[in-house]
Chains A and B, each alone.
Chain A
Amino acid sequence: MARSVRSVRPMSYVFRMPPATGAVTGAPDSSPAVDRQTAGQERGEPEQRDGRGEIVAGYLAPHPPHLVYAENPPQNEPRSQGGWEILRWAYEEARRRLKERHRPDVIIVHAPHWITMVGHHVNCVPNPRGTSVEPIFPHLLRYHYDFHTDVELAEAIVDEADAAGLVARRMTEPGVRVDYATIGALHLLNPDWDIPVVSLSANNNPYYYASAGLDDMETLGVATRRAIERTGRRAVLAASNSLSHLHWDTEPELPEDMAAEHPYNNHQYRWDMRLLEAVRAGRTKQLRTLIPEHIAQTEGEIKSGSLSWMLSAMGWPEVPGDVLGYWTVIGTGNAVVEWEPMRTDRSATPAAHATGTQR
């Protein structure tokens, strides 16, 4: 089925709740965040400048449209027989935690298929709605979206990014189609769409005019954190990225034919495991060097910077990430991972030593 793409070096995609724009719904002034702030600063975690805003969790939230397609949600037109259950079950657990434990005011997503050629753009449209027919996968994703943006926070992120020296822009055009990486991650984390959203573009990607480097994404992450703190939001972040990213250039007649699904090659799989072992062991700061290596070895989609943005926003917390699931989609590696930057009681997994790929 697969033809080698080794020679190809990719250059460098109706449901609502009342608008919450400007509202702080889940962060009372007497929040335990104040106590967490003091402890967090001692651990070198993000400074809570006003004692209210905080990032309660970050998710690596891959977006292959196959996962939305496989769910058969009412918002999506195509119908499937299912497929990729391991990843979808991982998302089910993420949804449970999101609603029961994290209860955020907002989900902030950085997505690699809103590809911006100049600068970092933030969707500031109050109520994006429309149908996103995905030009790459139109047979899998024709999704009717209708959600609410936390405009105050979105604008604050633009302002903080601008102050940090980045080229940043408020996107206020309701006619701009929402891409599948934004829709995919947000739908899979919260198919009810009942939590306000902020959506950031990727000024870098593995597909097309690539420009900004990971350093810029780290700066954008810090700017995002500052905006969260300034606006007092209780935020969950979503890095809408797959891991290893070489994949087939054809697909089976039945897209969800799981007999065709496996890693593109063992090299890619091993590098995904190497990255995830560091994640599970809580060696987060090591990821700053491991991520570029992973990209070089696997054409990783994290080149778009979503993971670096999120980890930077969380202050590269030395806490284990919880890998909720890993599987391939058309050969690419995908993991659903949760970090809780304030949580230090989660122990690192010893599995990193057992598999012999620790570096």
Chain B
Amino acid sequence: MTDPTVAAGTSSSRGSVSTGGAPGDVVGVALVPGLPHLLADDPAPSWTALADATRTVGERICAASPDAVVLLSTQWFTVLGHQFQHDPNPRGTYVDENWYAYDYGHLRYDYPVDVDLIERWATGTERAGMQARLTRYDGFPIDTGTIVAGQLLDPDGRLAVAQVSCNLYAPAETMTRLAELGVEAAGHLGRRVVVVAVSGLSSGLIQRWITPDEDRILSAEHDRWNTRMLDLLTAGDVEAALAQRAAYAEAAAVDAQGRALAFLAGAGLDGVRADVVAYGPIWGTGGAVVWWQP
């Protein structure tokens, strides 16, 4: 067992220390789904469309040749401080506790972590008055969303990842700040990065075992809200989307209350029009693949 080097202290007073960050070079921003159905041998049409769209975004990322991916997955959720994955090479298998009975419930992962970027990001987070902790343990369970997104965006596992957990008790503004700090840390190191959030939209699950062809967004209201938010992103109005985040979360049971969008906003999306590459249901939830080219 490797013991972690804990970069954390105890301070939680916020924002009093400048991080003095360089702006960082963001060459792409993406939102992708994290449910494993996208890897199904027998997929629903929307699962195929979402998987293909995620691969398309992966090709765009590859074309931009970033040094690292600054990553958030809402399925690695935490409640105390912010954890940063510090294992240089997470690899193993994961059996999903929900979908184990399906082919897509058994997942393999093997990818590099940008340890320097992680350490810089965690230190910057601490300096900014937030609690940060490096996470490096044998057998640590990498979440399904991270694995699914990795397999579709970067099937060969070549891209170095810098991932922070999704604190479900942290305000959305903190998630924005975390992404800003990640980009700043990359800037300090001269890294070109893409910023990716793995998250669903509405999270109303169909509460029975369905066949793939039965899949649809759980409710018309969820569908309307998802579409309204995607339209705002397409128009380049992230500010308006964030202003409606709380209402959206309440009305459509949004995955992690929309913290993924708040995180992506920290990559600098003001006025940048989104390309909604695909949108559709995953077991009743809303899934979208969205790409921004800053």
Q: Tell me whether A and B are bound partners.
A: yes
How many A-B contacts are there with CB distance less than 8 Å? 129
Q: Mark A54-67, 1 if CB is under 8 A from B, else 0.
A: 00000000000000
Cβ of B95 and Cβ of A175 under 8 Å apart?
yes
Query: Which residues in A have their C-beta under 8 angstroms from that of B8?
Result: 253
- Is A179 an interface residue when CB atoms closer than 8 A count as contact? yes
Interface pair B168/A10, CB less than 8 Å apart = yes
Indicate with 1 or 0, residue by residue over B92-104, a CB within 8 angstroms of chain A CB atoms.
0101111011000
Whether B97 contacts A138 by the Cβ 8 Å rule is: no
Q: Output the least CB separation between B161 and chain A (Å).
A: 16
B271 at the interface (CB under 8 A from A): no
Q: Taking chain A's interface residues, is the majority helix, strand, or loop, or is none over half, making it mixed?
A: loop
A167 and chain B: residue at smallest CB distance: B208
B253–A11 CB distance below 8 A: yes
Q: How many angstroms from the CA of A124 to the CA of B41 in the assembled complex?
A: 26
Complex partner residue of B168 from A8, A139, A169, A253, CB under 8 angstroms: A8
How many whole Å from A120's CB to the nearest CB in chain B?
11
With A and B bound together, what is the CA distance between A339 and B283 in angstroms? Answer: 39
Interface string of B134-170 (1 = CB under 8 A from A): 0101111101000000000000000000000101111
Most chain A beta-carbon contacts within 10 A, residue among B12, B98, B167 = B98
> A167–B209 contact, CB under 8 A?
yes
Question: Is B1 at the interface (CB under 8 A from chain A)?
Answer: yes
User: Measured between alpha carbons, how far is A12 from B253 in the docked complex, in Å?
Assistant: 7
**Chain B nearest Cβ from A200, distance in angstroms:** 13
**Residue of A at shortest CB range from B207?**
A211
**When A8-B171, A10-B168, A139-B133 are in contact, do A133 and B139 touch as well, CB less than 8 Å?**
yes
Quick one: CB contact mask for A6-28 with B, threshold 8 Å, 1 for yes? 01111110000000000000000
**Closest approach, in angstroms, between the C-beta of A258 and any C-beta of chain B?**
15
In the complex the two chains form, what is the Cα distance from A1 to B112 in whole Å?
35
Q: Please tell me which one of the listed residues B79, B203, B209 contacts residue A118 in the complex, with CB atoms under 8 A apart.
A: B209
Q: How far is the CA of A9 from the CA of B95 in the complex (A)?
A: 29
B131 at the interface (CB under 8 A from A): yes
Is B276's beta carbon under 8 Å from chain A? no
Q: Which of A138, A207, A211, A248 contacts B140 (CB under 8 A)?
A: A138
**CB of A145 closer than 8 Å to a CB of B:** no
Q: Is the CB of A247 within 8 A of B169?
A: yes
> Which residues 312-341 in A have Cβ within 8 Å of B in the complex?
330
Which B residues are CB-close (under 8 A) to A77?
Answer: 1
A285 to B202, CA, bound (A): 36
Separation of A63 and B216 alpha carbons in the complex (Å): 37
With the chains together, A210 CA to B255 CA distance in Å? 11
A164 part of interface (Cβ distance < 8 Å)? no
Q: Which A residue sits closest to B14, measured CB to CB?
A: A3
Interface residues on B, range: 35 or more
A295 within 8 A of B: no
What is the CB-to-nearest-CB distance from B208 to chain A, in angstroms, rounded to a whole number? 6
Nearest-neighbour CB distance to chain B for A118, whole angstroms, equals 6
Instruction: Tell me if B190 counts as interface (CB < 8 A to partner A).
Output: no
A118 adjacent to B139 (CB under 8 Å): no
User: Could you tell me the distance in whole angstroms from the C-beta of B37 to the nearest C-beta in chain A?
Assistant: 11
A175 to B209, CA, bound (A): 21
A7-B171, A135-B141, A139-B133 in contact; A251/B97 too (CB < 8 A)? no
B205:A179 contact, CB within 8 angstroms: no
Given known contacts A115-B97, A136-B77, A330-B80, A251 and B131 CB-to-CB distance under 8 angstroms: yes
State the Cβ distance, B128 to closest chain A Cβ, in Å: 13
* B4 contacts chain A at the CB level, 8 A cutoff: yes
Contact A169 B101 (CB under 8 A): yes
B residues at A contact (CB < 8 Å): 1, 4, 6, 8-10, 12, 14, 76-81, 83, 93, 95-98, 100-101, 105-106, 131, 133, 135, 137-141, 143, 165, 167-171, 203, 205-209, 246, 249-250, 253-257, 283, 285
10 closest pairs, A vs B, by CB?
Answer: A175-B95, A249-B169, A250-B131, A173-B100, A250-B12, A253-B10, A133-B139, A117-B98, A251-B80, A133-B140
A-B contact pairs, 12 of them (CB 8 A): A8-B171, A119-B207, A135-B143, A136-B77, A138-B83, A173-B95, A173-B101, A177-B97, A247-B79, A249-B170, A250-B80, A253-B8
